[in-house]
Chain A
Amino acid sequence: KAGVTQTPRYLIKTRGQQVTLSCSPISGHRSVSWYQQTPGQGLQFLFEYFSETQRNKGNFPGRFSGRQFSNSRSEMNVSTLELGDSALYLCASSLGGQASDTQYFGPGTRLTVL
């Protein structure tokens, strides 16, 4: 079974631009979560989607948004990029039905904002 895939793997943008990142979950997984990882901060939870609905959200500004499609693929968008948005953005998928189900991560998208 193919793992979680994320595109693009690397991205360079300038301040003020916007960016869209894509995540394809493991086949059969309906939950997709997004995380931001920066040095010294660890993984910070952005949001989770399940069956095309956002069902949990972290403490990030409204510039960060996401959506999920009927095939469970998910995108996240960051508008008006700031230098501090430079990070590794990780997507994780899970079956989504049970409280204890395990999240599996993709390789991440490395975003650099200049």
Chain B
Amino acid sequence: DAKTTQPTSMDCAEGRAANLPCNHSTISGNEYVYWYRQIHSQGPQYIIHGLKNNETNEMASLIITEDRKSSTLILPHATLRDTAVYYCIVRRLDAGNNRKLIWGLGTSLAVNP
């Protein structure tokens, strides 16, 4: 299974871009990179996912390196409400269309006023 490595914590000033890195050097060709965040022990919230191309939605942008061994989640204008734990996950596809997400401990992002 491809595992991910993320910094334990990061800080960001309100209004600035938050760039959260993730290393997934053992990712295989059919595995997607997913990002979720969890605010104060609520359920994780889906942010964005991608396979090989960069992706953007109303919440964030996902930049995946050409070799797919790392990615960066970008929150373009961080607000205090973006303070959360951010999880980078690689989706493993099991036989028979079964699948499990392998979760690490994520990055605790603190957005400061």
| Binary per-residue interface labels of chain A (87-114) against chain B in the complex, 1 for a CB within 8 Å, 0 otherwise | 0101010000001101111111010000
**A43: B residues at CB distance < 8 A:** 44, 87, 101, 103
Interface hits, A1-57 → B, CB 8 Å: 4, 35, 40, 42-45, 48, 55-56
**A90: B residues at CB distance < 8 A:** 43-44
Instruction: Report how many residues on chain B are interfacial, defined by Cβ distance under 8 Å.
Output: 26
Report yes or no: B105 in contact with A40, Cβ–Cβ below 8 A.
Answer: yes
**B98: A residues at CB distance < 8 A:** 48, 55-56
Secondary structure of the A contact surface, majority rule: strand
Report yes or no: B46 in contact with A103, Cβ–Cβ below 8 A.
Answer: yes
Report yes or no: A4 in contact with B94, Cβ–Cβ below 8 A.
Answer: no
Name the one of A58, A88, A99 contacting B99, with C-beta atoms under 8 angstroms.
A99
Instruction: Report how many residues on chain A are interfacial, defined by Cβ distance under 8 Å.
Output: 24
Report yes or no: B97 in contact with A42, Cβ–Cβ below 8 A.
Answer: no
A-B contact pairs, 21 of them (CB 8 A): A42-B106, A43-B44, A43-B101, A43-B103, A44-B103, A45-B100, A45-B101, A45-B103, A48-B99, A48-B100, A55-B97, A56-B98, A58-B100, A88-B41, A90-B43, A90-B44, A99-B91, A100-B91, A102-B49, A103-B46, A110-B41
Q: Which residues of B contact A (CB under 8 A)?
A: 30, 32, 34, 36, 41-46, 49, 51, 87, 91, 93-94, 96-101, 103-106
Closest 9 A-B residue pairs measured CB to CB?
A105-B43, A43-B103, A56-B98, A42-B103, A105-B44, A45-B100, A107-B43, A99-B93, A42-B105
